[in-house]
A = this chain, B = another copy of it.
Amino acid sequence: MTKRTIRSLDLKEGRVDMTHGSGGRAMAQLIDELFAKAFANPALAEGNDQARLDVPMIDGKPARLAFSTDSFVISPLFFPGGNIGSLAVHGTVNDVALSGAKPLWLSAGFILEEGFPLADLATIIASMAEAAKKAGVEIVTGDTKVVEKGKADGLFINTAGIGALDPRLDLSAHNIKPGDAIIVSGSLGDHGVAVMAKRENLVFEEQILSDSAALNHMIEAMVASGAQLHAMRDPTRGGLATTLNEMAQAAGVGIRLEEAAIPVRPAVRSVCEILGLDPLYVANEGKLIAFCPAADAEKLLAAMRQMPEGKDAALIGTVVEDANAFVEMRTDMGGNRMVDWLAGEQLPRIC
């Protein structure tokens, strides 16, 4: 091996420069000293341009795969309850797990702006590594690019994820049926409000934390409960309202919600009132919506409530026949309200 004296990365005062994206020695050093160390696992350690992975067997058959991706452009990068690194792991872990699959492997692609502090990058990478460990996934392959100052906004992260799916499971919006119960795993709006408050430097009596979390362990418990699951999705951008509209349209059914049953923290509700936001449209990063036969709702709720991520799980509505695929809500006042798709842009760069 070549022995050269190369100074270690200056993780206190150092900044990303264009050489860190060059493909040359500086990039190799960034990868070795930051990424490879934090994400250490056998596939990554092989140091090839691709990870090689063994598909697990489930009940004597090879697992199907669930494959998903998300880019993260959240601003600010650090927010109460997380940062772009933990969010980038949670987001893709959840998108994979919502099919019923067990998330196993992530890729990570970094687009860095010249001048970005290496200290912040190290913190974010440590958060990714910790989130991955907690979720039981490995970051097995990655990529780093650097663009000139002013051509990005600090840091963007893309993750893609692969999960092992039991071939006997079939969760898809198309399976939703009239009569299905609609369950949400907890209170709505925490992530969007936490990010917005940080962005606008708002201070409240009670600090609101993002709900950003990996849901795969709870989903495992839901599958294991024996309750039949028709479909699951996470109400991220566009919030509960938009996600339910997407699902209703995909399944060709209507949805009827009970406002009184939808969990929203009082603090979140207050902030939404001040900022003119509707919590039904605010993004969540650690919540899911599940559709199951009404007869299985109690069993499913019980399984969810035993997990910390699902302790506030609630039955919020029912699927009905409706050729218009409308989402409607019986309000606290006893009236009926149409819950439409998000039309414009409420909270840009929330994830």
Contact = CB atoms under 8 A, between A and B. Distances in A.
B156 A344 contact: no
A158 B51 contact: no
Given A48-B173, A67-B50, A67-B53, A342 B22 contact: yes
A19 B343 CA distance: 8
Contacts of A79: none
Interface residue range, chain A: 35 or more
Given A24-B342, A25-B343, A345-B22, A68 B50 contact: yes
Interface in A66-89: 66-73
Interface stretch (A57-65, A129-137, A177-185): A57-65
A141 B162 CA distance: 12
A325 B53 CA distance: 28
A50 B252 contact: no
Given A28-B246, A73-B145, A162-B162, A140 B67 contact: yes
A111 B71 contact: yes
Interface string A217-259: 0000000000000000110111100100010011010000000
A5 interface: no
A213 interface: no
Contacts of A14: none
Interface string A247-282: 001101000000000000000000000000000000
A99 B50 contact: yes
Contacts of A50: 66-68, 95-96, 98-99, 101, 163
14 contacts: A18-B345, A24-B237, A24-B242, A25-B342, A25-B343, A49-B95, A50-B68, A50-B163, A55-B64, A67-B140, A71-B110, A148-B348, A148-B349, A151-B153
5 interchain residue pairs of minimum CB distance:
A23-B237, A24-B342, A23-B238, A160-B160, A62-B62
